[in-house]
Structure 1
Amino acid sequence: MLPPLKPIPIKERMSIVFVEKGEIDVVDGAFVVVDQQGFRVRPVLTHIPVGGVACIMLEPGTRVSHMAAALAARVGTLLVWVGEAGVRLYSAGQPGGARADRLLYQARLALDEGLRLKVVRKMYAMRFGEEPPAPRSVEQLRGIEGVRVRKTYQLLAQKFGVTWSGRNYNPEAWDVSDLPNRCLSAATAALYGVTEAAVLAAGYAPAVGFIHTGKPLSFVYDVADIYKFETVVPAAFKIAASSPPNPERAVRLACRDMFRQTRLLERIIPDIEDVLAAGEIARPEAPADSVGPAFSDGEHLGDAGHRS
């Protein structure tokens, strides 16, 4: 019998892989993509080192076997079903909140207005490299942030020589958007994928946000915004300026390289902990009369939110 799998920490993995038009399966214990014609007996298959990938984005034309989904869950790799070019998210492979103490901690911070403001101020400081003005409400900070974001878009467009008429896109009509907006949408989708994988690996819930709310990925958007203008937005404008024949693919490759250069996966989980620590409260302890697990999971190498 094979020994139990030991998930690799997110910080030691490659960031993201996109798969289109193929069937994902497990052959001889390996995570593989079978070609779209389904010739399973072919001696050559596309192998994906699933345990070393943070997030696999599944585009239209892909199928996933039960064994493949189970293997991805055991090694802590997030499977995300997305639309063309990764712009629309349909489903993700595992829910959040694998650690009850962290989920309750996150919820308490989000529900208390005073604690929530502390967390939002920390996010602002990390994103812009300076303390936000005080006293300001969350709504006022969002307004200040919006002005700075719009100005940053304009400055990056000027830097790369891109015609910019504002952030404007419709996920229902992908081809209607101009090239810069399409590049930005593809780039932010890649960032959201790896950020969601990190949020889940840390044991938190993607839906419980502090700035964003009402969406399944509210906290993912909160965290991703910290890095957006450092990583994927400049990459998207650079690609848009070159007008490649396949801009979406060029953006993905640029984002992959940017994630590696900025060591993003090493930073996200520690940064999440720093952001939430700004609330200055401890994680809740389990009630004294609660029942612990019948069997110990033992020590493993993965992150707190990994399920194996």
Structure 2
Amino acid sequence: MAGTIGTRPTLTPRELTRAGDRLSFVYLERCTIHREHNAITAEDGDGVRYIPAATIGTLLLGPGTRVTHQAISVLGECGAGVVWVGEHGVRYYAGGRALSRSAALAEAQATAWANRRARLDVARAMYRMRFPDEDPAEATRRRLLGMEGQRVKEFYRKESARTGVPWRGRQFTPGDFASGDAPNQGVTAAAQCLYGVAHAVVAALGCSPALGFVHSGHELSFVLDIADLYKTEIGIPAAFDMAAEGSDEVGARTRREIRDRINRLGLLDRCVDDIKSLLLPEGADTEVEDAPDRVGLQTDGGVDVESGVNYGVIW
């Protein structure tokens, strides 16, 4: 009985696959998802497929899927994001607990976010990552937004010229994916994939999805910030390439192309490193995913002491 689901030990944080080494996302539809040991199974009319749960960054559950409590349990234990999506993957509803048991990145994020000057510095660093040939060191927020908007407009025109796909501007009606032309459908599908992957990494590292440095006021502001880092490198080119191949099933083909590019470019690993470089001071210990599962208590002067001890005597 040692190998049954109920008696197998839960993986510890150090045994889990690191966020940067995971599959970006796995999309399933019209099947039943269950658990067998530490893998999930996807069963449909063609048989049963086995997917190691600890290797998944985000599991996308499309139309016609049924998932058991045991399957969600093992995905949560492994820190995998679970997303219920429509046919075009436009919603993110739930996720597992963080892979990291350290609060270092969450505390660094909150500290930088709470200081207006530091928040602007992070926004400038994000812009520099996207457009390394420009120096935003003295740019105000209004100037940053103007620079970003102009660069993205130029990039759309460049991709249109490269692929021969006509571009009439960004057009997207929420809830009506089909209303856009082929390149707009591709851009929308690519953006949603990058949002899901960024959300998975943000959650895995224990950061707050809501505390953004460019976006604000939304529960996924930081996720949108991180996803935008790769929009012109991965998302928009993939969308135009797929639109150039034809207008049929642009969304589905773009999602598959984004998946392949993410794996080929090692985006998950880069995403982890980028978040750490944005939030942690230079030279800080960046191995937060391998930090011990430790809870401390705050005291005066910023010094933590061990929890589980009765400090009834005032020092």
TM-score interval w.r.t. the shorter chain? 0.7 to 0.9
CA deviation after TM superposition for structure 1 residue 286, in Å = 5.5
Q: Per the alignment, in what secondary structure is the counterpart of residue 168 of structure 1?
A: coil
Change (3 A) 1:16 1:281: closer
Contact 1:232 1:255 (C-alpha < 8 Å) held by counterparts: yes
Contact 1:101 1:286 survives alignment (8 Å): no
Q: Residue 14 and residue 95 in structure 1: after superposition, are their counterparts in 2 closer, same or farther (change >3 A)? A: closer
Q: What is residue 186 of structure 2 aligned with on the other side?
A: 183
Shift of 1:288: 2.6
**Number of the residue aligned with 1:266:** 269
Corresponding residue SS for 2:24 = strand
Offset at residue 52 of structure 1 (A): 1.2
Match of 1:305? none
Whether 2:18 is the aligned partner of 1:16: answer: no
- Cα distance in 1 for residues equivalent to 2:61 and 2:19: 19
Match of 1:127 among 101, 110, 130: 130
Structure 1 match to 2:173: 170
Could you say what the CA RMSD is over the residues aligned between the two structures, in angstroms? 2.7
Which one of the candidate residues 4, 7, 10 is aligned to 2:10?
A: 4
SS in 2 for 1:89: coil
Cα distance in 1 between the residues matched to 2:43 and 2:284: 49
1:158 match: 161
Q: Is the 8 A contact 1:7 1:74 kept in 2?
A: no
Q: CA deviation at 1:185?
A: 0.9
Q: How far apart, in 2, do the equivalents of 1:66 and 1:293 lie? A: 33
Distance change in 2, residues 1:280/1:3 (3 Å): closer
Deviation string for 1:209-235 (max 9, x for gaps)?
A: 000011221111111111111112101
User: What residue in structure 2 maps to residue 287 of structure 1?
Assistant: 298
Secondary structure of the 1:215 match is: coil
1:92 aligns with 2:94: yes
Q: Distance in 2 between matches of 1:15 and 1:281?
A: 27
Query: Which runs of at least 4 in structure 1 moved beyond 4 Å after TM superposition?
Result: 95-99, 278-283, 289-294
* Residue 264 (structure 1) shift: 0.6
Work out whether 1:45 is the aligned partner of 2:48. Answer: yes
Q: 1:163 to 1:211 in 2, by over 3 A?
A: same
SS state of the match for residue 18, structure 1?
Answer: strand
* Stretch of structure 1 that moved more, 105-114 or 285-294: 285-294
Aligned pair 1:109/2:95, yes or no?
A: no
> How many angstroms does 1:253 deviate by?
1.6
SS in 1 for 2:135: coil
Letter in 2 for 1:112: N
2:43 counterpart of 1:34: yes
> TM-score when scaled to structure 2?
0.83
Distance 1:225 1:280, change over 3 A: farther
2: CA distance between counterparts of 1:240 and 1:188? 15
Question: Using the alignment, how far apart are the partners of 1:165 and 1:278 within structure 2?
Answer: 43
Q: Is the 8 A contact 2:105 2:279 kept in 1?
A: no
Matching residue within 66, 79, 87 for 1:76:
79
Q: Contact (CA 8 Å) 2:124, 2:136: kept in 1 or not?
A: no
In 2 relative to 1, CA 130–276 (structure 1 residues): closer, same or farther, beyond 3 Å? farther
Q: Aligned AA for 2:17?
A: I
* Superposed displacement of residue 63, structure 1: 2.3
Deviation for aligned residue 1:34: 2.6
DSSP 3-state at the match of 1:48: strand
Paired residues of 1:244 and 1:250 also in contact (CA < 8 A):
no
Decide whether the 8 Å contact of 1:60 with 1:82 is kept in 2. yes
Could you tell me how far 1:145 is from its partner in structure 2?
Answer: 0.6
- Judge conservation of contact 1:116–1:279 (CA < 8 Å) in 2: no
Conserved? CA contact 2:31–2:42, under 8 Å = yes
**Distance in 1 of aligned mates of 2:27 and 2:285:** 38
Does 1 or 2 have the higher relative contact order (CA < 8 Å, sep 6+)? 1
Q: Which residue in the other structure is 1:237 paired with?
A: 240
Q: Is the 8 A contact 1:118 1:279 kept in 2?
A: no
Long gaps (5+) in structure 2 = 3-7, 287-295, 309-315
Unaligned runs of 5+ in 1: 37-41, 295-308
Q: For the residues of structure 1 that align with 2:75 and 2:63, how far apart are their CA atoms?
A: 19
Corresponding position: 1:197 with 2:200: yes
State the shift of 1:60 in Å. 2.6
**Aligned partner letter, 1:15:** S
TM-score, scaled to structure 1: 0.84
